[in-house]
Amino acid sequence: MGNLQDKLLASISVDEMWKHLEKLCEWDRSTGTEGELAAVDYVKSVLESYGLPVTVHEYRAYISHPISGGLTVEMGGETVKIPAKTRAFSANTPEAGLSGALVSIQGGKNMFKADNAVNLISPETVGGKIVLSESGSRGSMLAAKNAGAVGYIHMWPSDEDVIHEGIVTPVWGTPTPESAGNIPNFPIISIKHNDGVRLRAALEKGEVKGTIHSVTKTGWANVKMPVTEIKGQDDDFVLVAGHIDSWHYGATDNATGNVSCMELARVLKAHEGELRRGVRIAWWVGHSTGRYSGSTWYADHHWAELDANCVAYINIDSPGSLGATDYSEVTAVPETAALVTNAVKELTGQTPNIDRPMRAGDQSFWGVGLPSLFMLLSNRPEGQRAAVGGCGMGWWWHAEEDLVDKADRDVLLKDTQIYAHALLRLTQDEVLPLDLKAQIADLKAQIAEVRDAAGEHFDVSSVNAALGTLDAEIAVIGSLPADKANALIKTVSHRLTALSFTYGDRFDHDPAMPLPMFPALDGARKLAKLDPESNDYGFLQTRLVRNRNMVNHEINTAIAACRAAK
């Protein structure tokens, strides 16, 4: 592969990417708008000029566009207007707004991870009031709503002078009858950190009353989503994708990702006859205002094909951000960690710490069981980061200021080369470079934590034993012809990925909420804290028994596949 890798990496052109970046940033690419449609048409025309086939999928997406938000407070005998924005899927307030006394709830600094704010929220603390908190987690917002709060003000955790756009529904993709009720019928707005500090200081002196305004437009939109494919010598393929929609002009979230995908398509097309496995590249819509609607739709409508033939998913989001030269934290799952580490180290000289993927960022394929690589890659150095979820941790994330001047030519080139390096390993290695032993070791470590926390309250020894058996049985892969070895690797990795990253339903999508390790058995950690005579204990124990049956079934299915391959 060395010669192909050298040729392909050398042929990646930052000038080619940059001209497309400048063009894409002419449009506000919110999903369902003329700007997004223009961007889709542009990507399609460029790909076709490269000689690539393009399929444009059309579907109805459930989308929410923030229109306006506002906050007025009475403090110190004055009426003060504080700049604010509403969020996608926030409820609309009456024209006069919605009023109440403010209450401060201390929160965390990472909206993608659980924090203690949810434990401070109760009917006694927030009932009938407007919550002010830096906790941006959907769990805190839903807890506040369920506890009787009348509204929620998210004060940003870091102190940049912008108000970031966002989305508040935990429902992943288009809602179903079962999940639609989880869309918060609740007004939620966002303000700057320093304005939140002012409000907290006023609350320390006495009551502060506020009126919040929220206007959103929520409903169905007809959308288009382009996908191209570079065929390989067999039917297996790697899925590569990033979202084409944006907040405002979205240069680094995610026009840089779009042009990286376009450039990968261009250079791979030139070597199409040399690829062992194919590459399918998609530009998702509905990421920002539809909670990953496009990738979810694609998973739903291509489930069987993805399960049968897709070997991995490379998620390209926010590459090439200004000053993002730190590769110390890179996202990968255990079975792709070595692959990612090798690519980053070879091309940057840095050895990354591998972070477990969060339940965010178009990770819509864990139910299918696809091993994933990246999502976020390059970051700004420590000391130059805001508390944000992309753009290399640049302060301009999800804001009007995310323009072409926030992109970095050198970083964009380096990031695209890293993607290409890892991608070529996945397409060209005779036997797939997925480390099943690392994947099993990770699951065994997780089940050991569950065992220690549950103690005598729940027995997970059968799961641990099954994982041990599977660990021994995968040795057969080394004795198989490459085609049979790869088929077995897919079977095992898909099942184990679903166990590690979902609650167990491979055909549905878990909420956009912080996801525990080994989700189906995570509840066992709680049993020891409950009264064994209580309903809560009995109900949870019953759920865990059923989940344990499912977990053992999936592992035993993988064991049977190994034995059948001998």
Find the angle CA(14)-CA(15)-CA(21) to the nearest 5 degrees: 85
- Report the interhelical angle of 14-24 vs 34-49 (nearest 10°): 150
Residues 6+ positions from 6 with CB-CB distance below 8 Å: none
Residues 6+ positions from 33 with CB-CB distance below 8 Å: none
Strands 85-86 and 98-105: unpaired
Q: Residue 119: which of 144, 93, 138, 150 has the closest Cα?
A: 144
Cα separation values, 4 from 238, 239, 272, 274, 431, Å:
17, 20, 11, 8, 17
Per-residue pLDDT tens for 95-132? 999 999 999 999 877 666 667 888 899 999 999 999 99
Q: Residue 17: which of 468, 412, 528, 514 has the closest Cα?
A: 412
Q: Residue 254: which of 298, 313, 320 has the closest Cα?
A: 320
Q: What is the pTM of this model?
A: 0.96
| pLDDT tens by residue, the chain, 566 residues | 668 999 999 999 999 999 999 999 999 999 999 999 999 999 999 999 999 999 999 999 999 999 999 999 998 888 999 999 999 999 999 999 999 999 999 987 766 666 788 889 999 999 999 999 999 888 899 999 999 999 999 999 999 999 999 999 999 999 999 999 999 889 999 999 999 999 999 999 999 999 999 999 999 999 999 999 999 999 999 999 999 999 999 999 999 999 999 999 999 999 999 999 999 999 999 999 999 999 999 999 999 999 999 999 999 999 999 999 999 999 999 999 999 999 999 999 999 999 999 999 999 999 999 999 998 899 999 999 998 989 999 999 999 999 999 999 999 999 999 999 999 999 999 999 999 999 999 999 999 999 999 999 999 999 999 999 999 999 999 999 999 999 999 999 999 999 999 999 999 999 999 889 999 999 999 999 999 999 999 999 999 999 999 999 999 999 999 999 98
- Report the interhelical angle of 461-473 vs 436-454 (nearest 10°): 170
pLDDT of residue 49: 98
Stated as kind and residue range, the H or E segment containing 210 is strand 209-230
pLDDT of residue 172: 98
- With the C-alpha atoms ordered 225, 231, 234, 238, is the resulting torsion angle positive or negative? negative
Peptide bond before residue 556 is cis, with ω within 30 degrees of 0: no
Per-residue pLDDT tens for 379-409? 999 999 998 989 999 999 999 999 999 999 9
- DSSP assigned state of 92: P
Task: Give the Cα separation of 443 and 517 in Å (integer).
Answer: 9
Q: Residue 63: which of 293, 372, 243 has the closest Cα?
A: 293
Q: Residue 200: which of 105, 108, 292 has the closest Cα?
A: 105
Long-range contacts of 490-493 (CB under 8 A, 24+ apart): 490/236, 490/311, 490/432, 491/558, 491/561, 492/436, 492/558, 492/561, 492/562, 493/335, 493/369, 493/371, 493/434, 493/436, 493/439
Per-residue pLDDT tens for 234-274? 999 999 999 999 999 999 999 999 999 999 999 999 999 99
If DSSP codes are grouped into helix, strand and coil, which group holds residue 152?
strand
Amino acid, single-letter form, for residue 433: P
Find the angle CA(458)-CA(462)-CA(466) to the nearest 5 degrees: 145
Find the angle CA(210)-CA(167)-CA(367) to the nearest 5 degrees: 145
If DSSP codes are grouped into helix, strand and coil, which group holds residue 12?
coil
Contact assessment for residue 61 and residue 181, using Cβ atoms and an 8 Å cutoff: no
- Structure tokens given for 262: 């376009």
Strands 54-75 and 78-82: antiparallel
Contact assessment for residue 499 and residue 470, using Cβ atoms and an 8 Å cutoff: no
Side-chain-side CA neighbours of 124 within 13 Å: the count stands at: 2
pLDDT of residue 111: 65
List residues bridging with 155 in a β-sheet: 191
pLDDT of residue 109: 72
- Structure tokens given for 251: 């240069």
pLDDT of residue 108: 74
